[in-house]
Structure 1
Amino acid sequence: MYRCLPLLLLLSGPAFALDLTLPAPVAGQQAASENPASVELPTGPFAAGALPVRRVTGALDRRAWQLDAPRLSLAELAGPLREQLLAQGYDILFDCETKGCGGFDFRFVIEVMPEPGMHVDLGDFRFIAAEKGEEVVNLLVSRSPGYGFVQLTRVAPEPMADAVPAAAEPDPVPAVAPAPAPAAPPPGDLGAALEAEGAVVLEDLVFASGSSALESGDTPSLTALAEWLAADPARRVALVGHTDNSGGLEANIALSKKRAQAVRQALLDRGVAAGQVSAEGVGPLAPRATNLTEEGRRKNRRVEAVMASTQ
């Protein structure tokens, strides 16, 4: 359980004040500060392998709030915060959303507070940089299926006062362990699982980090999938490759497609007709486990079979 915090957050020092009304009740928060600090704050999108930044010095305060917002879109979370900045006299220096920020690469070169307090959906986030006098603030906003997430980074001549009265501090947000990967169905059941769920992970395939080559070993899932496809020439599947988050987005998408192509070739070698199987790759954009551990990264290096429409 959590206790809803006051929605009005007074983030102030002796000379500077930022009053933010968050768009939903607060389920948890975390904070970190340093004074003095020298910080590189983004001023433009990640492009050509680099992120433009502005170095500022002063009192650094970085806070993240987890919001109980299962029905609010990214625009509904970020829009009111941007309007409040403008209403309080801040000038917007940079405002971007997902691909306009540089996507995956932007997310992984900026400072983000750790899970579970701050979560960033790589396909759905917004970044806003603003300035008022000697004070610079950045907002990073994203969401998960049940929560909204807001991170505020502020650098100013004076530290912030506490944003929340001590009596109203929330219960700690428990770290949620990643859901265990679904067990691979027995070979005879793979087709039934595919028809029932629309997609199955080929759990017995193993890829080394950075490699598109299938590691040697028994792969009954490929045999079962080949048999299911051979039983009906009208059946089609798309093989979708996935990677962990090591490296850049474009390289990972290319790698994930090569992995899917390697699996497709393995099916063709088992007698599957070429027209029944396609290969795609989405890189690290759909993880099923944390990328902060080797076990999680291993689970994310996978290929899924997705039922496709018949021709």
Structure 2
Amino acid sequence: MKNKQIALLLLCFIPGILFAQNDKEGSKDHPLIQRFKDSYIYDYEETSFNPYIFFTGKGSTMGVEGKVFRIFYSLPTSSGSTYEIFTNYKNALTAKGATILYSCKNTKDCGNNLWNEISGNYLMPAYYGENLAYLAAKFSKDGLAYYIVVTPGYGLGEQGYEVDIVETKEMDQQISLDGIEKALNENGKVSLYGILFDSGSDKLQPSSYAEIELIAQYLKNHGDKKVYIVGHTDNTGNFDLNMGLSEKRAQAVVNALSSKYNISSAKMKPIGVGPAAPESNNTTDAGRKKNRRVEVVLNES
């Protein structure tokens, strides 16, 4: 496994490497991530813009959309196991700063229902689900967000794995876990602009979970902290409706933190203030966009 770990490096794809078996005609590795040793591309699909659903926990999924690459690799069973492939990719992604959204290392860990949850996405044959692992991660580079799903599988004496990558435009305003910690330490609050909702609704858009996960990580890292989750709107429309909508949106964030990331509801209180606490004016599109936000405020009472 030592040599394979060294060989598997993100962002260092080297063209011209020879493999024991030929790749499918017209296929290629994605430049973001290198193949596992001795693998060859058995099947390949690239679409310019499509939705993609990935697994974020037992019974829980998340959707993104963008340019989708699906690459199904096969390899000799002597070259690596499901767990070995899973561990190599997880280590490589973590080393390069990717956020691990969900992972499970074998069929028992993942649950027997995993294949039913994800099979609609896959080039990999169903019988590879005899022993299955799963890894979903997010990586940002050059203004793009990459959602990476690696699924090693074994079945009927065959070993393989699928790498699916969805390229999407990164959010206009990005924040890191360090940025959240710094803002909360210095100001007692942080404004988040990547938590988005359908227009006039409290339904979270799929891209919102990148920042919601950062809130979850902060609360897990600081077990003694409690926070207010505060919903804000611009001043478009009826005041009372905006007040109610902002509270529903704050509650939706609390619900997501509780259900997807197991954050205790006792650590969070949702509040809606509608347009009553703007960060900018409401006379321009840019100003209204800045006012539509979710704030995390330390509850130090």
For normalisation by structure 1, the TM-score amounts to 0.40
Q: Which has the higher contact order (CA 8 A, sep 6+)?
A: 1
Which structure's residues are more often helix, by fraction? Answer: 2
